[in-house]
Amino acid sequence: RDVDTDDHTDAICRAAWDISETLMVKLIVSSTYSGHTAINVSGFRPRSIILAVTPNNRTYYRLSLVWGVLPLYQEIGTSIDEMVETAGKKAREMELIKEGDHFIITAGVPLGVAHSTNMLKLEKA
């Protein structure tokens, strides 16, 4: 799929897909308010599960209809470190990853602001 060169969210989603395929990562966590980032990642059809963490009830239900996306209704947190730790813990509890597995996180900083995706992080559970 082509990437919109004027859209940094599109570039980050493409990079998440590329890293997940290259490293055979099992999980991409998308911290999202509107759902846009999770939907965008889904468009690349990764083999990884996309765990879309959202504090927005409407977005949660909408994402349940998107290919490859597993929505999780949860407050995002106040810091990147808190969000990463919470996402990793929740993913392990859901048995999506196990200790030592790598996973990818996409988010917008500042957290909780719609259409602000500007971060990609490779993390180890």
Write down the domain spans for the chain.
Answer: 8-124
Q: Of 3.40.50.10470, 3.40.1380.20, 3.40.50.300, 1.10.150.170, which CATH number belongs to 8-124?
A: 3.40.1380.20
Residues in the chain: 125
**From CA 57, how far away is CA 12, in angstroms rounded?**
25
pLDDT in tens, 8-53: 888 999 999 999 999 999 999 999 999 999 999 999 999 999 999 9
pTM for the model stands at 0.89
Q: What integer pLDDT is reported at residue 105 of this predicted model?
A: 95
Question: In the sheet where 102-108 sits, what is the strand order?
Answer: 69-73, 49-54, 27-31, 102-108, 117-124
Mean pLDDT in the chain?
90
